[in-house]
Structure 1
Amino acid sequence: MRRLLTILAATVMLGAGAASAAEAGAAARGSCRPGLLFCEDFERLPTGGAATLKWGVDTRNGALTVERARRGNKVLHVRTAGNGHAFLRVDDFAAPGNRFFGRMRLRVDAFPTAPDWAHFTLVEATGSGSDEIVRPVGGQYAPTVPGTFWGVGADGGPTGDWTNWRESAPVAEDTWQCFEWMLDANGNRVAVWIDGVANPELTASTTDHGGNDVPFVLPVVDTVKVGWQLYQDGSTPGAYDLWIDDLALSTRRLGC
Structure 2
Amino acid sequence: MRSLVAVLTAALTLAATVGSAPAEAARPGSCGRGLLFCEDFERLPTGGPSTLKWGVDTRNGTLTVERAGRRNQVLHAHTVDNGRAFLRVDDFAAGGNRFYGRMRLRVDAFPTAPDWAHFTLVEATGTGSTEVVRPIGGQYAPTVPGVFWGVGADGGPTGDWTSWRESAPVTEDAWQCFEWELDPAGNRVAVWIDGVANPELTASTDEHGGNDVPFVLPAVHTVKIGWQLYQGGTTPGQFDIWMDDIALGTKRLGC
Q: TM-score, normalised by structure 1?
A: 0.87
| Residue 74 (structure 1) aligned with residue 79 (structure 2) | no
Counterpart residue number, 1:51: 50
- Alignment partner, residue 208 of structure 1: 207
Q: Which residue of structure 2 lines up, in the alignment, with residue 239 of structure 1?
A: 238
Query: Quick check: 1:196 aligned with 2:195?
Result: yes
- When residues 27 and 176 of structure 1 are mapped into structure 2, their CA distance, relative to the original with a 3 A threshold, is closer
Q: Does 1:109 align with 2:108?
A: yes
CA contact (8 A) 1:154 1:190 kept: no
Residues of 1 paired with 2:135 and 2:70: CA distance? 28
> What corresponds to 1:177 in structure 2?
176
Number of positions where the alignment pairs a residue of Structure 1 with one of Structure 2: 230
Distance of 1:209 and 1:129 partners within structure 2: 19
CA-CA distance at 1:187 after TM superposition: 1.1
Q: Cα gap change, 1:31/1:50 in structure 2, threshold over 3 Å: closer, same or farther?
A: same
Q: Cα offset for 1:247? A: 0.2
CA distance in 1, matches of 2:58, 2:135: 20
Tell me, in whole angstroms, the C-alpha distance in 2 between the residues paired with 1:120 and 1:156: 16
Report matched runs for 1:83-94 at 5 Å: 83-94=82-93
CA RMSD of superposed structures (Å): 1.2
Which structure dedicates a bigger proportion of its chain to strand? 2
Alpha-carbon offset, residue 27 of structure 1: 3.9
Question: Partners in 2 of 1:126 and 1:88 — Cα distance?
Answer: 14
Provide structure 2 residue ranges, at least 5 long, that are not aligned to the other structure.
1-25
Q: Distance in 2 between matches of 1:67 and 1:222?
A: 28
**Aligned position for 1:165:** 164
CA distance in 2, matches of 1:35, 1:164: 33
The unaligned stretches of length 5 or more in structure 1 are 1-25
Tell me how far apart the structure 2 counterparts of residues 159 and 152 of structure 1 sit (CA, whole Å). 13
8 Å CA contact 1:76, 1:243 repeated in 2: yes
Structure 1 segments of 4+ aligned residues over 6 angstroms from their partners? none
Could you tell me which amino acid in structure 2 is paired with residue 74 of structure 1? Q
What is the rounded CA distance, in whole Å, between the counterparts of 1:128 and 1:166 in structure 2? 29
Deviations 1:189-237 (A, max 9, x none): 1000000111111101111113210100000000000000000000000
Structure number with larger C-alpha Rg: 1
2:165 touches 2:200 (CA, 8 Å); kept in 1?
A: yes
Indicate the SS of the match to 2:161. Answer: helix
3-state SS of the aligned residue for 1:141? strand
Match of 1:229 in 2: 228
- In 2, distance between residues paired with 1:121 and 1:247? 16
- Asked if the contact 2:103–2:246 (Cα under 8 Å) also holds between the matched residues in 1, the reply is yes
Match for 1:146: what amino acid?
P
Alpha-carbon distance, 1:143 to partner: 0.6
Instruction: Supply the distance in 2 between the matched residues of 1:125 and 1:116 (Cα, whole angstroms).
Output: 25
Higher helix proportion (structure 1 or 2): 1
Tell me the alpha carbon deviations over residues 69-122 of structure 1, each in whole angstroms, 9 at most, x when there is no partner.
Answer: 024300000000010100000000000000000000000000000000000000
Per-residue deviation at 1:158? 2.4
Q: Does the Cα contact within 8 Å between 2:35 and 2:250 map onto a contact in 1?
A: yes
Instruction: Write the distance in 1 (CA, Å) between the matches of 2:153 and 2:193.
Output: 17
Task: Work out the CA distance in 1 between the residues paired with 2:67 and 2:79.
Answer: 19
Q: Which residue of 2 aligns with 1:21?
A: none
TM-score normalised over the length of structure 2 = 0.88
In structure 2, C-alpha distance between the alignment counterparts of 1:211 and 1:108, rounded to whole Å: 27
Distance (Å, rounded) in 1 between the aligned partners of 2:174 and 2:154? 26
User: Which amino acid counterpart does residue 110 of structure 2 have in structure 1?
Assistant: F
